[in-house]
Every structure is written in structure tokens, then in C-alpha cells.
Amino acid sequence: MSAGQIDILVSEVGPRDGLQNVKRVMPTAIKHRWIAALAAAGLREIEVGSFVSPKLLPQMADTDEVAREARKIDGLTVLALAPNVKGAERGIAAGVHKLNFPVSASRAHSMANIRMTPEEAVEQVRQACQLRNAPPVEVGISTAFGCTIEGEVSEDWVMQLAAKLAAAGATSVGLSDSTGMANPAQVSRVLEHLAPRFPNTEWTLHTHDTRAMAIPNILAAMEMGVSHLDASIGGLGGCPFAPGASGNVCTEDLVHCLDAMGIETGIDLDALIETSKRVQEIVGRVLPGQIVKAGKWTRRYPLPDGVRERIPARA
């Protein structure tokens, strides 16, 4: 893994957000190898799973073991999702470096997703932050840009939630476009309002490419100073509401775009592309990522037959 200076931290969420939208359960040994390959490609932070009830998400039942194994990888920040104090306790026991709590801005989404009100979820964050040996707690504000059930989510309410979360002890707050509804103008506007009010909070952006706006939203957030981005290899995942729609922004497509723009992520794009191809084989379907199909922008092709001899020298 490269230890050089980076401009943008790309945090891989495939083993959590990607996989939780895939029905088939991935064997634990394959998860280990996958996470090791991601880390070897230069990913410095990986969300390895979710400490939820195995009854709800059987794909995540082995998160304790996956996290313990990932902890052995030198230099890797191991992150896992916990929806409540019980999950946080499992995370602490497994030795994760960071916990990610989902707190929905939408009440309906909150109840549907974690069966708690937003206020109850904030209270879980507060209690988790006070646990003995608690690691830093990041919060992703789900449906921060709108909810497919409730509709518009008020910026004022997102602001209030962010304040409650900071007070509860969260070290960083992610704006999560869980439903793929955000647009670049909105991302700029929301961050322009929010970020200056919380100078001590690190803002992150979690995007879904449901409506082809993930990379535009990311570039808008980067212009507002956000330098921590979630992504999922291959674009693995999906949206439970929109069958056939894309999942999280695709890690290698994002890294490719940043690379081409001269923005340093510390990630070896070729190794990442190879890993994405293997993930595609493992899950057994074509993933939305485009770089795996098209190759990098530096890819070259030979001249078609019989053309070279017809090219005259430049006039």
C-alpha cells in the first residue's frame, strides 16, 4: 500500500453497502481475499461489513470475523456499520478502527431502515460514543438530499441533525444520497450552508449512481472542500426501490476520473480494475462499472488494416 500524500480519500464500501444489496451470501474466505486485494490496490479505508442482526442481513453475519481478519492488514483503516449500541459493542470486540452509524434524516426511511426515529438513532450514537474503548464514530446522514418515501428533506432539519450528532460525539458526518436523488447544484448548496457551521466536523459524501449523477455530485462536493468519498467496487449494490438501477458510485470509475484529472488517491488503478473483474466473476453478473468494459483513457488501439500506408505526412 502506498503511504504517499493523497488529495482524496476514497473509502471502499463494497463489502458492506455493495454486498448487502446482493442476495447471495459471499463465503467468508472470499471476503478476506477481496478485502486484502482492495487494500493491496491502495484502498486505505474499507467498510468491511455491518453489525446488524444476521436474521435481517445474512450476508453480513460474518462481519465480526471479517473485521478481525481485516485488522491484520497493515495500514488499513477498518470500518464497519453499526445501527445501534449492540452493534457497536460487537465492533469494539472485533477491534474495528471506526464505526459508521446510519442516521436517517427522513423519519419514514429511518423507521423502514433501522426501526428507530432519527432522535432514537442519535441517542444510540451518543451511547456508542461513551462505550469503553469506543473507536471514532462516523455518522452517515441517510436521505440527506431527499427521501423516496417522504420526498423533500429540509436542509434546516439536516443542519439540526448534524448539530445533534456533533453534540453526541460523532467525529465525522457523511451526507448520504441513499436514494440517488441528489443533483450537483443541490450538493453545492447544502454543503455551502452546512460546512461553515461545523468547522470541526469532517464532511464526507456517500453517493449512489441511481440517476447517473454520482460523479457530478462528487465533483460538486470536492469543490466545496469535501475530500472523503465513499465508493463501491464495480458499482456493486443497487437500490432496493429501483430494480435494475445502479448501486454506489463505482470505485474504479471514480478513481479513473480523479486520476485523469490529476487528483491523487494513492490507489493503483490497474490493480483495482483487476480486483473489480474478479468481484464480477464472484457475484456472477455484469456490474455497472464502465472502466472495466472500456479500459482506461490511456488505452490505445492499432490502426485498422490498410490505413497507415494511406496517411500522408503533415502538410
The answer to whether 257 is a known catalytic residue is: no
**Residues 281-300 close enough to bind its own copies by CB under 8 A:** 289-291, 293-297, 299-300
Task: Specify the DSSP class assigned to residue 18.
Answer: I
DSSP 132: T
What letter does residue 204 receive in the DSSP assignment? E
143 binds its own copies (CB under 8 A): no
With H, G, I as helix, E, B as strand and everything else as coil, classify residue 73.
Answer: coil
244: left (phi over 0), alpha (psi -120 to 50) or beta: left
Catalytic residue among 129, 239, 250, 257: 239
Q: Which set of grid coordinates corresponds to residue 222?
A: 470536492
188-247 residues in contact with its own copies (CB under 8 A) are 209-213, 215-216, 219, 239, 241-246
In the complex, minimum distance from the CB of residue 154 to its own copies, in angstroms, rounded to a whole number: 12
What minimum distance in Å lies between the beta carbon of 218 and its own copies? Answer: 9
β 137-142/202-206 pair status: unpaired
Q: What angle do CA 160, 102, 115 make, to 5 degrees?
A: 95
Which candidate, 226, 128, 120, 241, places its Cα nearest to that of 179? Answer: 241
Whichever of 3 and 311 has its CB closer to its own copies, that residue is: 311
Cα distance between residue 189 and residue 191, in whole Å: 6
List the grid coordinates of 65.
470475523
> 4 or 306, CB closer to its own copies?
306
* Residue found by looking up cell 449492540 in the block: 86
Q: Which is nearer to its own copies, 123 or 274 (CB)?
A: 123
Q: Give the range of 1-9, 25-33, 37-45, 147-155 binding its own copies by CB under 8 A.
A: 147-155
In terms of CB distance, is 130 or 290 closer to its own copies?
Answer: 290
Enter the C-alpha cell of residue 181.
Answer: 436523488
- Measured from the CB of residue 293, what is the shortest distance to its own copies in angstroms? 4
Residues 249, 255, 256: CA angle, nearest 5 degrees: 105
Q: Give the contact letters, 104-133, x = binds to its own copies (CB under 8 A), - = no.
A: ---xx--xx--x-x-x--------------
Cβ of residue 88: shortest distance to its own copies, in angstroms? 23
Measured CA to CA, the distance from residue 269 to residue 289 in angstroms comes to: 13
Q: How far is the CB of 98 from its own copies (least distance, A)?
A: 28
Contact pattern from residue 249 through residue 268 relative to its own copies, giving x for each residue in contact according to CB under 8 A and a dash for the rest: -x--x--xx--xxx------
The residues, any chain, with a CB within 8 Å of residue 138's CB and separated by 6 or more, are 79, 98, 99, 100, 101, 170, 171, 172, 173, 174, 204
Q: Which residues would be at the binding site for its own copies (CB under 8 A)?
A: 107-108, 111-112, 115, 117, 119, 146, 148-149, 151, 180-181, 183-186, 209-213, 215-216, 219, 239, 241-246, 250, 253, 256-257, 260-262, 289-291, 293-297, 299-304, 307-308, 310-312, 314-315
What residues are annotated to the active site?
239
